[in-house]
Structure 1
Amino acid sequence: MNKLITLVATALLIIGAGTAKAQDNVNIGKSNIKLNSRMMTPEALWAMGRIGGVAASPNGSQVVYQVGYYSVKQNKGHQVICIMNADGSQQRQLTTSSKSETDPVWLNAETIAFNCGGEIWTMKADGSDRQQLTKTGGKVEGFKFSPDGTKVILIQSIPFHEIIKKNPEDLPLATGRRVTDLMYRHWDHYVESIQHPFLAEVTAEGVGQGIDILEGEPFECPMEPFGGIEQLAWSPDSKTIAYTCRKKIGMEYATSTDSDIFLYNIGTRETRNLCKPADWKQPATDMTHTRTDQAVNADPNANTGYDQNPMFSPDGKYIAWQSMPRDGYESDLNRICVYSLETGTKQYVAHNSDIDAFCWAPAKDKTAMLYFISVWHGCKNMYRVDRKGVVSQLTDHWSDWTSLQLANDGKRILATRQSISAPTDIYMVTPGKNIEKTQVTQISQENKQILDQLTFGKVQQRWVKTTDNKEMLVWVILPANYEEGKKYPTLLFCEGGPQSPVSQFWSYRWNFQIMAANGYVVIAPNRRGLPGFGQEWKEEISGDWTGQCMDDYLSAIDDAAKNLPFVDKDRLGCVGASFGGFSVYYLAGHHNKRFKAFISHDGAFNLESMYTDTEEVFFSNQEYDDAYWKKDRTARADKTYKNSPHLFVDQWDTPILCIHGEKDYRIVYNQGMGAFNAARLRGVPAELLIFPDENHWVLKPQNGILWQRTFFGWLDRWLKK
């Protein structure tokens, strides 16, 4: 890193005239809110700081991290950068710009790089001497410096007109889009640009514009919709870049999850695929049928599922990444693939665990190979896999670890964690031989001032017998104002995904503690289809959306109504989003008078329409088996379409609130409007909360407040009479 220090120091002397000036009118920051009640409110929830990226200094003595603050009045957020010692002392905010400042990383022990206004800036570790390194016109969307500091990867968007054709130059005001293939929009936007990685030199004059390492290739890197700079990695010698890419467009892209890990040689500019043989060609594929039983998934020598997030070992001999085995299945078992750069052999470690995140152990550690986070029984804990492939559990908390990396002191892990009763904070973990020997120390308390004023509901774990005589984990959250002997209105929470765990997550919308603060018991079952209970349990959902998983929901709420003395069986509600919203629509026609109110957010209502409405067709193929028009469709597909919620509206008899975002291109808003219209035509009390500017989530502060008020207003109306 000595060369980096010299280069950056010289560059800063030359380009210092571009120094950003601190602004005095920054109004969005850490809240000193004084609450009028010990019960959580939407305003208190939105006043909390949200910790983002975290990075340890090269010597492990300090930690820099990102925090987001939100103003309901201004209806926007602001990202700042903070720093503290590795023991949590001397916490302070470094940035004061009116612009958000994000993605802090250490260039050396004295210098931090970050993104502000789409440019890379640097500052000293005390926040002084702010300098601009890039001049791209605000195009930098992500960056990663090479270990030797002489180069940097810049993520920038480039125009993309393979699918949506460019309009004629003489029609500059035309708003029409001429579409020629699938995947013309993704998640919440029309695809008229894609991200590419550019390789730039760090010189005495600053950072150059860089060369596109995917020049001429119409493929995105990082991948939509959630990929970031973690999808690229530098080799320790700074000579090679590993990157994630799904080299497909149009219908192939829309129907496939087949992404690969590529190695780009900086010297020769040659690229090779680590996931497939050089002569591999995809077999002919039916685009309207699940790929599970197709030839594309039959080759043992090819990785055909999601492969992403590469990371080189400290000695540069290996590269690891997260790898799913099958094409077309976005929620397949997420393993760690370890690839030997010397022999080309692959080893799958922790192959029975769904891996959320991982990092290499320090080079001098002769026992541990990798650390990782995985969900089991409704909690995301930390594990170690040794060099023989043996997995050991390191933590055993009712919580969700959400990220981990080396603390750079040779012995500890820097990590973030949350739970149903605590938003994200930063921790230091000293791994031991087992759970008892592992030491966990919380080093940030970002929202202590707010949390100290709140009373939370008690969280309980309950195991419930299902209709097929299996044991199901159910989280039970008591009202925050719980009194022994009283009965309370109770909500059945239906999870989305459909393969997302009901773990110890903290949400700023679907927050169990704000439900508890409003006087509700929450019943949150880990029904069939969720990870953390074995692959068989998870895969029972595909092709059976209305079978065992619906029985599991009813088993959970029936058990609560019968056996929990604080549950009022005459005041039950049912709520959920995405697949959970679909569940609500289905249960509305099959609940046999159990519930008094329903709320569905962004739920699928008409599965035939959903098949061709959604942009990621691979999802529908995997979950339904076949397109609805196929005469030879499988029995599972036939069952799916014949049990679509819209076919049972004649049995709807309970008040329902439908919520949807018009920029949701995963489950298009006509699904929510169709459900609301059907309910009203049926004569069922119903409301529709529609957001023209929101996607599959609700991200704007005032919309978030409106969501919460509408949510609890509806429930109170029908469950608190």
Structure 2
Amino acid sequence: MTSLKLSPGSNITPKDILGLPRPDAGVANPSGSLALWPSTEFDFDKRRTERSIFLVDIEGAKQAGASAKSSEDFSGPAEPKKVLHSLASTDAAWLDDRTIAFLRPAVPKDEFAVKGEHGERVDHPKDLSDDEFSKKAKEWSEKEGGKGTEVWAKDVDTEEEYCVGKFPVSIGDLTITHLSNGDKSSKEEAILAFSATVFPDGDIFTVHDQEKKLEEKAAGSDALVYDELFVRHWDEWKPTAGQKKQLHFVRLSRASDADQAGSNQSEASLEEFELVEPPKGRWSMQMQTSAASEETAARPEVFSPLKGTPLECPVGPFGGASDFSFSAKHLLFHAKDPHLNPAWHTRTQVYLVPLSPRTAADAEPRAITVGTQGACSSPVLSPDGKRAAWLEMREDGYEADRNRVMIFEIESGKRWEASGEWDRSPSKIVWAPKSDKLFLEAEDQAHVKVFELDVSSSTSLKEPVPLTTEHAVAHVSPLSNSSLLLTWNSHSAPNQLSLLSVSKSDNSSAPPSTSLTPLASLTKNLHESKSLSRGEEFWFAGDKGHPVHGWILFPPEVEKVRSAKQKGELLDPQLKDKKWPMAVLLHGGPQSAWTDSWSTRWNPNTWAGHGYITVLINRTGSTGFGQAFCDAIKHDWGGAPFRDIVAGVEFVKKTFGEIDPERTAGCGASYAGHNDQLGFKCLVNHDGAFSTSTIWAATEELYFPEREFGGTPWESPEIYQKWDPSKHVQNWKTPMLVIHGSKDYRLTESESLAAFNVLQRQGIPSRLLVFPSENHFVLNPSNAIKWNEEILRFIDEWTAPADGEEKSGYDVKYASQ
């Protein structure tokens, strides 16, 4: 059983949460019999991140999970098998039913990779911390042959590992598309696609030479010169020589024994490109056939469909493999409209490109969107290769508009909307294997659910049908039209794998019946030693009587008291009338939501485990409750949302008698950083907004404040001033902990410096916490521990009981003062 490093006692701590495995999405192999499952885990003692790939036997786990007591009982299925460890990257994909492709850093000439206990290669040695490993990687990259990325394969049956090929640059977003050859040959073929940063020529093989020329030209200066926006995005300054991420692909093949005897395919060695014959049964890359020199002859044949265009994909700052899709004949992707400035436009176009163009004109990416829409996302090609689908917002400049499902018939060129008037906004879509329906992931009343959408006909639209009802689905991997591999999480559990089975009713109008079978968990014994609140939902009348949703999570001690009261059991007299402090978590966005999901940043069980009754309110502007509710925050930042929070706090105080109404803390981020008039004893302001005018002046994505406030500050001064926190600082009185990451370019650190200046100048108790290396989020685990420590120490100080009674949660062990 997976051993978890946990603190003593039943209350979970921030270190427990941050030290748990962090599984990514489970991905099924072509036959649906196995799943690869990447995961990372941070060791605080070694300050080292372990990156691993696990293997899940879907069929075996299904049989073991069939006898589970509930859909969340993972005691039956076997532990996932760790097939790769000590990796530098968890990028991985299935080459075939039994072979995993994964990435490794290049090994310089005359250097040797570290070997593990069983002779296997180790990329990140166990005795090196993350900082030490980064230092070593930088040193290796400066040596001959030390730049670039190797693509490796692992046979999960024989455990054989071999290098498939090497690229001279860092790559990511690895995907594999399997090709069907019919009866033409017995060779297996596939397309291996990836993203890499290139110069305007789009050539991965010229990157290092161009970097050297830039360095020589700079002559020691690190100045950056810009003539247009963006100049920086999220947490990075934009490069000034036209560098951008673009998509590339190579063709792979694996011949049968008979075919391979006469093969002239080549495999790249570990250190440099050499023409060598791959052993039988191994995958190899197609090599350049019209090479100008011996050096280029040893290179794989890399195709770059975006070469020579201004298009960038994946789309920053959070884009990845879900930004593009391959079939046997086409590439589908989305990219920012090159004719519009991305600083004040959200529009992306969806493009279609043939993989084997007949002419130069045919090779040009062709936009298949109408050209007037807003942002697009999740482009996917159907398994039969006949249709494309994507998500599309109508309003340019609005990043929280409703996503609509669009279908494009490739042969006829017909484009149609499949989701109609459905009032939910899916975030991801994936085709069913038979290409007749789509599976959608969408927020719905504080859960992230899977929906099924029939797209077999453009003339008879059907509304999406929910297939799940609770928690948060993070990824869907269809095994068949009626069987899905789900990656899901909740308030009380990180990602886990389950099998969703769907059965159609004889009554065509009746919804399908579903069953959820637990398959795999890396934290199955977590609840044996730690008490985590699953959260309770509540609704109350918000602004103008509109129903508003919330969550409440109770500390373990409160859970026991409530349970005893419900069962009529005798209580310790000291607990009978005891009250507990309350922490109200206020989400930013402002268009986002508190869902039943796991987080390593704002995890409500952090506060509940520390002894706080924790409340989360999905006020006006929250997503997943209909588009009108989401849109209603526009021009009204301090109106209805503020009144919702006031009403919600009063509701829980009256409804849950365990709350001490005099000991409350408000903790918010970004939009929710400043809520001084809510009557809290103290406030936590993480990367919060101080001035609406300076938000516009210093942010990178200008479209956000312009959409929220009706234009630029000079076009709509009334709305900017109306909701400007800096115009109300004379009313501030609540003690505040102010936190900011110096690399936050969305809301710059000057916002927090200004707030701290005001607090200090007025003599209001306050503290400033700065993370020079963090952006809008605190991601480094060591910094995250400090973040949690400082928050809990601050709110403990200001919500301490008047009688000096000790708190019921764990004690905070402060690393430093």
TM-score (norm 1): 0.86
Taking a change above 3 Å as real, the CA distance of residues 82 and 458 of structure 1, as seen in their structure-2 partners, is closer
Give the structure 1 partner of residue 317 of structure 2. 225
- Answer yes or no: is the 8 Å Cα contact 1:30–1:69 preserved in 2: no
Distance 1:643 1:446 in 2: 46
Give the structure 2 partner of residue 640 of structure 1. 720
C-alpha deviation, 1:77, in angstroms: 2.1
- Answer yes or no: is the 8 Å Cα contact 2:80–2:520 preserved in 1: no
What amino acid sits opposite 1:348 in the alignment? E
Give the structure 2 partner of residue 489 of structure 1. 581
Out of 642, 656, 668, the position equivalent to 2:748 is 668
Query: Is 2:323 aligned against 1:252?
Result: no
Between 544-553 and 251-260, report the one with greater CA deviation.
251-260
What amino acid sits opposite 1:258 in the alignment? R
Give the structure 2 partner of residue 199 of structure 1. 249
Taking a change above 3 Å as real, the CA distance of residues 427 and 651 of structure 1, as seen in their structure-2 partners, is same
Distance 1:334 1:119 in 2: 37
Give the structure 2 partner of residue 145 of structure 1. 176
Alpha-carbon displacement from aligned partner over 1:258-281 (angstroms, at most 9, x marks no partner)? 1011111122252343444xxxxx
Distance 1:570 1:435 in 2: 48
Distance 2:96 2:534 in 1: 44
Distance 1:176 1:619 in 2: 28
Query: Is 2:281 aligned against 1:213?
Result: no
Taking a change above 3 Å as real, the CA distance of residues 504 and 458 of structure 1, as seen in their structure-2 partners, is closer
C-alpha deviation, 1:505, in angstroms: 1.9
C-alpha deviation, 1:83, in angstroms: 0.1
- Answer yes or no: is the 8 Å Cα contact 1:259–1:305 preserved in 2: yes
Query: Is 2:462 aligned against 1:390?
Result: yes
Alpha-carbon displacement from aligned partner over 1:349-387 (angstroms, at most 9, x marks no partner)? 2342210222212218xxx61111211111111211123
Alpha-carbon displacement from aligned partner over 1:604-660 (angstroms, at most 9, x marks no partner)? 111111102111111121112121133xx2xxx513323211121111111100111
Alpha-carbon displacement from aligned partner over 1:571-592 (angstroms, at most 9, x marks no partner)? 11111112222xxx1x21x33x
- Answer yes or no: is the 8 Å Cα contact 1:83–1:91 preserved in 2: no
- Answer yes or no: is the 8 Å Cα contact 2:491–2:533 preserved in 1: no
C-alpha deviation, 1:201, in angstroms: 3.1
Distance 1:167 1:650 in 2: 51
Show the 5 A alignment for 1:646-657. Answer: 646-657=726-737
Gaps of 5+ in 1: 1-28, 277-300
Distance 2:312 2:3 in 1: 38
**Percent identity over the alignment?**
25
Query: Is 2:38 aligned against 1:66?
Result: yes
Give the structure 2 partner of residue 379 of structure 1. 447
Give the structure 1 partner of residue 20 of structure 2. 48
Show the 5 A alignment for 1:501-650. Answer: 501-581=593-673, 585=674, 587-588=675-676, 590-591=677-678, 594-630=679-715, 633=716, 638-650=718-730
Give the structure 1 partner of residue 87 of structure 2. 99
Query: Is 2:184 aligned against 1:134?
Result: no
Query: Is 2:504 aligned against 1:447?
Result: no
Distance 1:568 1:515 in 2: 15
Give the structure 1 partner of residue 810 of structure 2. none
Q: Secondary structure at the match of 1:174?
A: coil
Distance 1:144 1:257 in 2: 26
Q: Secondary structure at the match of 2:249?
A: strand
Alpha-carbon displacement from aligned partner over 1:125-173 (angstroms, at most 9, x marks no partner)? 24722122231235222222332234322311124799xx996735432
Distance 2:653 2:607 in 1: 18
Distance 1:137 1:451 in 2: 46
Taking a change above 3 Å as real, the CA distance of residues 609 and 47 of structure 1, as seen in their structure-2 partners, is same
- Answer yes or no: is the 8 Å Cα contact 1:614–1:667 preserved in 2: yes
What amino acid sits opposite 2:331 in the alignment? I
Between structure 1 and structure 2, the one with the greater Rg is: 2
Give the structure 1 partner of residue 791 of structure 2. 711
Alpha-carbon displacement from aligned partner over 1:195-246 (angstroms, at most 9, x marks no partner)? 11123233621431513221122332110011111211112xx121111111
Alpha-carbon displacement from aligned partner over 1:289-320 (angstroms, at most 9, x marks no partner)? xxxxxxxxxxxx54521112211122222111
C-alpha deviation, 1:512, in angstroms: 0.8
Show the 5 A alignment for 1:688-703. Answer: 688-703=768-783
- Answer yes or no: is the 8 Å Cα contact 2:53–2:85 preserved in 1: no
Q: How many residues align?
A: 648
- Answer yes or no: is the 8 Å Cα contact 1:76–1:700 preserved in 2: no
What amino acid sits opposite 1:663 in the alignment? K
Q: Secondary structure at the match of 2:683?
A: strand
Give the structure 2 partner of residue 399 of structure 1. 471
Distance 1:199 1:32 in 2: 39
C-alpha deviation, 1:440, in angstroms: 0.7
C-alpha deviation, 1:97, in angstroms: 4.7
Distance 2:32 2:217 in 1: 58
- Answer yes or no: is the 8 Å Cα contact 1:275–1:303 preserved in 2: no
Query: Is 2:218 aligned against 1:178?
Result: no
What amino acid sits opposite 1:404 in the alignment? V
Give the structure 1 partner of residue 68 of structure 2. none
C-alpha deviation, 1:495, in angstroms: 1.0
- Answer yes or no: is the 8 Å Cα contact 2:201–2:308 preserved in 1: no
Q: Secondary structure at the match of 2:634?
A: coil
Show the 5 A alignment for 1:292-441. Answer: 301-351=370-420, 352=422, 353-363=424-434, 369-386=437-454, 387=456, 388-407=460-479, 409=480, 411-433=482-504, 437-441=513-517
Taking a change above 3 Å as real, the CA distance of residues 262 and 140 of structure 1, as seen in their structure-2 partners, is same
Distance 2:393 2:217 in 1: 47
Q: Secondary structure at the match of 1:391?
A: coil
Distance 1:80 1:172 in 2: 42
TM-score (norm 2): 0.76
C-alpha deviation, 1:471, in angstroms: 0.9
CA RMSD of aligned residues (A): 2.3
Taking a change above 3 Å as real, the CA distance of residues 226 and 413 of structure 1, as seen in their structure-2 partners, is same
- Answer yes or no: is the 8 Å Cα contact 2:491–2:534 preserved in 1: no
